């Protein structure tokens, strides 16, 4: 915030404030850079990465990119143009540099020897990370070398754009102990240095290279001093900070890529290990926890070294459900309700314990644990380096079922999967398995009309306007196929952008019209402000005593819905005016509820499965099976958070008996 900048500058004193030899270093929040950057008149701006982070506060990647471009242009227009130090391995950061056309200095990693498993598919596209596409042809970028997220040696498959040649680069080797060795070279000086980095994680190699790149750009001869400075580097607050006297590590995690990297690093540690997920959903954490479903938590269930799991905080029940959907039994997950039980769970751990925590919980947990176990000193940390090898994943047999598999199609999981929409597919799989049905899940990034009628359930998520624009063309060009599938009773769940494209059209702020499938004659008009926050609605598809809950985050206002999914009790809904939320027609449901919606509403999961089976002519027996207990607890906790403790819900909706 601007207030923070003023406080930092004023506390430094007048002598430093006007000293031309003083270098000021500021870490700016991506959500406020548009306001802060032009005020600072920076000489250098370092762009490290663009990741989705707290979408309810900062909006999507497209918005962040746009704001940074505007801020940098304002710096130039004010008469104080700056140099941009850019991560060449991140195509999203490079796109900013290409657009503003300010002097740019690039850094990147040329070679990786990390022992990590590949995260590329057969077409050399990334499997996890932010979607990066060519601005010319719209095709997803491909990678010859990939490190993590969208980082690597990237190019357009049609050769329109490619990774720029770094001015300063490094080759990175990570041994089995997780220690990093870097060989850094500069193009302009033809200079090489060898260094070791006493921090965990390949992301810290990028951070180190970014720091050296900025320093070398200011003073080329300072590269040797920078190398010597690594000897005194220690993990700082919440960055794999270790507590003295025990194997307990504190890790701040607040977005899916950050959690993926933390888990990847923790699993390098030798021997049995425990994980505690402290998840809050206060404003500073990001109130929407859909991102938990975008993190690849499944990797934990692939390692037999994981011996215990616990969750804590206001998001404890939702995190427990996420772990269960990742392959752990419900009984293997402990939900801790008080700080005292948390302390006991950690103290009783005879093995290495990793505490992955969001912002608001990390400080009190750290304070509580430090009362009996202070942080390691610099000298102690140097004596206790991790020397254990990475434990390879163990395979787990999947029990078979006797029923004909349900075919679930997840449309556009990368382009339209911004809000943890994979979680809806995971919940369908989890519930089907619990009641004895197999499922076949197919992910499709380009529309295939033949699959519509062959599918039992289709799930479409939400995405930024740039992705929705391309998807809209495929929806409109295949309107007849969409209508045929819906009228035939194929079960369809559309979330946010996926919901909007089921209607006639979406009108953007610029006046552009995106034509949709036209399943029903409703339309969406973009607003200048976003409707963001928790939402609770009363079911209008059947039993009115059933509530649905979630988190909405949309600028579009949807009007003209013939039949809504629910009546808004708290929140905005379709447009913030008529009190309706979502849309309902035959076996098709559209909604603005994130969460993801099926992780917070087990009744809705069962409704979709029952409708799919009924279309096949299979008698539904869901009323004989208890509803998903973890999902029900997550629903009840969230509903009471919204509407208060007096809420009473029926044990089972009436549609169970009706079907």
- Nearest-angstrom CA–CA distance, 180 and 172: 7
Check if the beta carbon of residue 172 is closer than 8 Å to that of residue 161.
no
DSSP secondary-structure letter at 513? E
What does the DSSP 8-state code read for residue 133?
A: B
Q: What span, in angstroms and rounded, lies between the C-alpha atoms of 658 and 539?
A: 15
Q: How far apart are CA 648 and CA 627, in angstroms?
A: 17
**What is the rounded CA–CA span in Å between residue 346 and residue 362?**
14
Residue 197 three-state SS: strand
Residues 590/581, Cβ–Cβ less than 8 Å:
no
- Left if phi > 0, otherwise alpha if psi is -120 to 50, otherwise beta: which for 527? beta
Spatial distance between the Cα atoms of 324 and 630, rounded to a whole number of angstroms:
8
3-state secondary structure of 417: coil
Rounded Cα–Cα distance for residues 222 and 220 (Å): 6
Q: Which two tokens stand for residue 137?
A: 């042809």
Using CB atoms within 10 Å of the CB of residue 232, give its burial: 0 to 12 exposed, 13 to 18 middle, 19+ buried: exposed
Residue 594 bears catalytic tag: yes
DSSP one-letter string for 586-622: TTEEEE--BTTHHHH-HHHHHHHHHHHHHHHTPPP-G
Selected catalytic residue, list 75, 94, 134, 496: 496
Query: What phi-psi label fits residue 138: left (phi over 0), alpha (psi between -120 and 50 degrees) or beta?
Result: left
- Please work out, in degrees rounded to the nearest 5, the angle formed at the alpha carbon of residue 200 by the alpha carbons of 269 and 240: 80
Calculate the dihedral angle through the C-alpha atoms of 335, 339, 343, 348, rounding to the nearest 10 degrees: -30
Q: Is 76 helix (H, G, I), strand (E, B) or coil?
A: helix
Given the residues 410, 594, 620, 635, the one annotated as active site:
594
Q: Which residues contact 345 (CB under 8 A, 6 or more apart)?
A: 276, 310, 334, 336
How many Cα atoms sit within 13 Å of 100 on the Cβ side? 27
What token pair was written down for 78?
């004010």
CA distance 195 to 200: 14
Residue 82 annotated as catalytic: no
Yes or no: say if 587 and 492 are a contact pair by the CB < 8 Å rule: yes
- Among 464, 356, 591, smallest CA distance to 55 is for 464
Sheet containing 588-591, strands listed edge to edge, beginning at the edge strand earlier in sequence: 439-444, 406-411, 457-460, 491-495, 588-591, 583-585
Instruction: Output the six-digit token pair for 380.
Output: 């102690």
CA distance 505 to 523: 5
Whole-angstrom distance, CA of residue 210 vs CA of residue 206? 6
- Side by side, the strands of the sheet bearing 180-186 are 44-47, 83-87, 104-113, 168-174, 180-186, 191-197
Q: What angle do CA 67, 554, 30 make, to 5 degrees?
A: 25
**Residues pairing with 550 in the sheet:** 535
Residues identified as active-site = 496, 594
């Amino acid at each position: 915030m601007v207030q923070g900048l003023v406080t930092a500058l004023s506390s430094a004193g007048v002598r430093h404030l006007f000293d031309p030899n003083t270098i000021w270093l500021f870490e700016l929040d991506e959500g406020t850079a548009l306001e802060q950057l032009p005020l600072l008149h920076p000489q250098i701006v370092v762009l490290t990465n663009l990741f989705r982070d707290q979408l309810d506060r900062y909006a999507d990647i497209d918005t962040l990119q746009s704001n940074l471009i505007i801020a940098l242009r304002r710096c130039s227009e004010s008469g104080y143009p700056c140099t941009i130090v850019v991560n060449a391995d991140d195509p999203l950061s490079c796109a900013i540099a290409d657009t503003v056309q300010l002097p740019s200095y690039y850094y990147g990693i040329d070679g990786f020897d990390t022992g990590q498993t590949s995260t590329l598919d057969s077409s050399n596209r990334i499997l996890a990370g932010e979607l990066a596409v060519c601005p010319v042809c719209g095709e997803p970028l491909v990678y010859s070398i990939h490190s993590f997220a969208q980082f690597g040696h990237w190019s357009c498959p049609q050769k329109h754009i490619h990774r720029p040649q770094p001015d300063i680069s490094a080759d990175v080797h990570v041994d089995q102990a997780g220690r990093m060795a870097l060989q850094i070279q500069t193009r302009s000086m033809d200079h090489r240095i060898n260094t070791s980095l006493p921090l965990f994680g390949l992301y810290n190699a990028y951070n180190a290279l970014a720091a050296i790149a900025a320093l070398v750009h200011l003073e080329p001869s300072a590269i040797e001093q920078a190398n010597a400075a690594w000897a005194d580097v220690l993990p700082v607050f919440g960055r794999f900070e270790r507590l003295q006297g025990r194997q307990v590590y504190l890790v701040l995690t607040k977005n899916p890529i950050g959690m993926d990297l933390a888990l990847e690093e923790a699993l390098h540690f030798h021997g049995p290990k425990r994980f505690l997920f402290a998840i809050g959903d206060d404003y500073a954490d990001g109130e929407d926890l859909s991102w938990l479903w975008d993190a690849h938590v499944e990797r934990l269930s692939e390692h037999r070294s994981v011996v215990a799991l616990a969750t804590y905080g206001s998001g404890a029940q939702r995190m427990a459900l996420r772990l269960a959907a990742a392959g752990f039994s419900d009984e293997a997950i402990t939900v801790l309700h008080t700080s005292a039980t948390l302390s006991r769970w950690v103290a009783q751990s005879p093995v290495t314990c990793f505490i992955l925590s969001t912002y608001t919980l990390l400080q009190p947990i750290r304070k509580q644990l430090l009362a009996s176990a202070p942080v390691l000193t610099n000298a102690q940390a140097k004596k206790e380096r991790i020397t254990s090898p990475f434990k390879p994943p163990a395979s787990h047999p999947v029990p078979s079922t006797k029923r004909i598999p349900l075919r679930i199609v997840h449309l556009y999981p990368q382009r339209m999967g911004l809000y943890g929409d994979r979680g809806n597919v995971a919940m369908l799989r989890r519930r089907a398995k619990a009641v004895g049905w197999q499922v076949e899940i197919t992910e499709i990034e380009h529309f295939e009309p033949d699959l519509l009628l062959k599918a039992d359930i289709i799930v479409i998520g939400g995405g930024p306007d740039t992705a929705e624009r391309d998807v809209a063309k495929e929806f409109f060009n295949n309107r007849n196929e969409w209508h045929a599938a819906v009228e035939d009773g194929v079960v369809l769940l559309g979330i946010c952008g996926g919901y909007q494209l089921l209607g006639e059209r979406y009108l953007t702020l610029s006046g552009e019209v995106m034509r949709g499938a036209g399943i029903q004659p409703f339309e969406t008009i973009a607003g200048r402000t976003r409707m963001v926050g928790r939402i609770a609605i009363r079911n209008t598809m059947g039993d009115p005593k059933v509530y649905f809950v979630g988190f909405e985050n949309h600028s579009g206002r949807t009007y003209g819905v013939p039949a809504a999914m629910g009546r808004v009790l708290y929140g905005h809904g379709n447009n913030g005016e008529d009190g309706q939320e979502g849309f309902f027609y035959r076996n098709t449901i559209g909604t603005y509820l994130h969460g993801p919606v099926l992780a917070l509403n087990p009744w809705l999961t069962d409704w979709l499965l029952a409708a799919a089976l009924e279309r096949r002519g299979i008698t539904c027996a869901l009323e004989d099976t208890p509803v998903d207990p973890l999902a029900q607890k997550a629903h009840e906790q969230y509903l009471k958070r919204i509407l208060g403790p007096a809420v009473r819900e029926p044990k089972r909706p009436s549609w169970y008996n009706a079907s």
